[in-house]
Amino acid sequence: MDEVINVSLVRCDESPDQRSEMVSTSIERSLIEKRSISASEQQIAANEAKGLHLAAAHPDHGVVTYLQEVTQGGFFVYVGEPDELQEHWFGTGSWVAFNDDRGSGHASKVGPDGCTRTFRMLGGHLAD
């Protein structure tokens, strides 16, 4: 039987403004491998922050999901109404995916110990 991985997914909600929201989903490891376009290890400095941004479609591969596995440290993700963002923490062992390619997007900030993660780009959007 294939390993099932629980993932926190940042996606667009169904409102007219298509705000970002966090939902839970799962994916089989074999599907990650099958849909993988690229993978790389990333080390990000402590407290590095990005304001609101989208998980935009890739110029060569079209609609994608950015899947991140935290292997050390962690980072915060902020979703929702731009003036009332909700904070979510993802530490070692967490999996988080992004496919909010419309609306106002999400923000992020690396934790005080930095973050090491495996960053994967998968073809298509993950569904919840």
Q: Bridge-partner residues for 109, per DSSP?
A: 49, 76
Q: What is the pLDDT of residues 30-82, one digit of tens each?
A: 999 999 999 999 999 999 999 999 999 999 999 999 999 999 999 999 999 99
Give the start-to-end residue ranges of the domains of the chain: 4-123
The CATH class given to the 4-123 domain equals: mainly beta
Distances (CA, A) of 126 to 29, 42, 64, 101: 13, 22, 9, 12
Mean pLDDT on 10-14: 94
pLDDT for residue 127? 78
Q: What is the pLDDT of residues 104-128, one digit of tens each?
A: 999 999 999 999 999 999 999 987 5
Q: What CA–CA distance (Å, rounded) separates 97 from 121?
A: 10
